[in-house]
Amino acid sequence: MQRIRSFVSSQVDVSRSLAQALQDRSINPYPYLKPFIEKAANVREPPISPTPHSVVYTRGSMRLLRYASPRRRFRTPILFVYSLINRWYILDFLPGRSLIEYLTRQGYDVYAIDWGVAGQDEQNLTWSELLGGHLRSAVRWTLRVSGSDDLTLYGYCMGGTMALAYTSLYPEGVRNLVVQATPVDFTKGGIYSLWTQQRHFDVDSLVDAYGNVPTYVLESGFFMAGPVQRITKWLDVCRQIDDPGFVTTFLALERWGSDAVPFPGEVYRQYIRDCYQQNLFCQNRMEVGGERVDLGNIRCPVLNIIAEQDNIAPPAMSEPLPDLVGTKDCETMRFPVGHIGLSASSKSPVKVWPRISAWMGQRSQVLEAGE
């Protein structure tokens, strides 16, 4: 009886909160609905980003985070490069559901770039400054702190696109390259490729007007890609309101999803123009700082990770990569999960991460005894 009352009460509260969110013209209902779901399920704030870390370098709004392994086995560190749209901590999601936590326990010295919140100083940031300045400095500091001569560069989503471009331009120090759910062929992005076509989307007017692209502009695109599902999922969670684990994971994902940050304006302008509108990236015609990004220059081992149920970077966007890079050691791994599931699914610690870790381990330098 209590479960029925809780379910009915939650449904009513959710409906009212959704109505209020619509009245306020809010794109994201999370702030409105979170209190009611927590109360009905009797759960607390999800412990997001639980793995201990330290800040080892800063540059503008960017921070380089180190997650030291409790039992380091590999000299070769891992540097994560995440997208500029959302926050890095989906890689360090929840206890037991954290890719970073898993890798530190496997003996890797792990680093991650937190791009921070873009402000006035970042709105004129270019791809050349982003890769040759910020990312190159993060690579150098990772090598300095870890005491290694090279590293594994691990890019996720747009971060993978940046990691590919970086390795093409600055291959020194990159021992291995892992790209996860990474756009390469931008004609295959589904609804996002359609919406960003030049006849539909004037990126120059947007950037000229705002400088950095506001979060609500970015959120509106994701919302309109699946408007019904983004509302009904809050009603669906009420049906599992008696499952604290499910509710906690759901709220943690919604919290992360609502934590979007402004997109640096000039980086966004070139990203949309060169990648989505002209598809220069996979044609080896994109230029950064006057240099051509030629994926054929990438000669280190490459791991291409694809989420088969990805609707943000569909598999077709990532599949051409092996034919574009200049290495024969390029492996593609496919998993039956979605874009976020690669880093947050309950299946990942058992079915996804061990295979990725094994691939990196075979190509990483092991610490000698006593080091």
Nearest alpha carbon to residue 317 among 128, 185, 167, 190: 185
User: CB neighbours of 51 closer than 8 A, spacing ≥ 6?
Assistant: 67, 92, 98, 100, 101, 104
Query: 8 pLDDT band (50/70/90 cuts)?
Result: very low
For residue 64, what are the β-bridge partners?
Answer: 57, 113
CA-CA distances (angstroms) from residue 185 to 157, 181, 193, 266, 274? 13, 12, 10, 21, 11
Is the predicted pLDDT of residue 250 greater than 50, yes or no?
yes
Average pLDDT over the chain reads: 89
Q: Would you call 294 a catalytic residue per the annotation?
A: no
Beta strand pairing call for 78-81 and 302-307: unpaired
Q: What is the dihedral of CA 124, 212, 55, 371, to 10 degrees?
A: -70
What pLDDT digit, counting tens, does each position of 175-190 carry? 999 999 999 999 998 8
The per-residue pLDDT for 189 is 86
From 92, 275, 310, 330, the catalytic residue: 310
Cα 116–159–165 angle (5° rounding)?
120
The per-residue pLDDT for 226 is 60
What is the C-alpha separation between 331 and 359, in angstroms, rounded? 9
What is the C-alpha separation between 162 and 249, in angstroms, rounded? 29
Give mean pLDDT, residues 251-279: 92
Estimate the crossing angle of helix 30-41 against helix 244-257, to 10 degrees.
170
In the chain, the percentage of residues whose pLDDT exceeds 90 is 66
Q: Would you call 243 a catalytic residue per the annotation?
A: no
- pTM, entire model: 0.90
What pLDDT digit, counting tens, does each position of 128-186 carry? 999 999 999 999 999 999 999 999 999 999 999 999 999 999 999 999 999 999 999 99
Q: Would you call 53 a catalytic residue per the annotation?
A: no
From 13, 150, 157, 300, the catalytic residue: 157
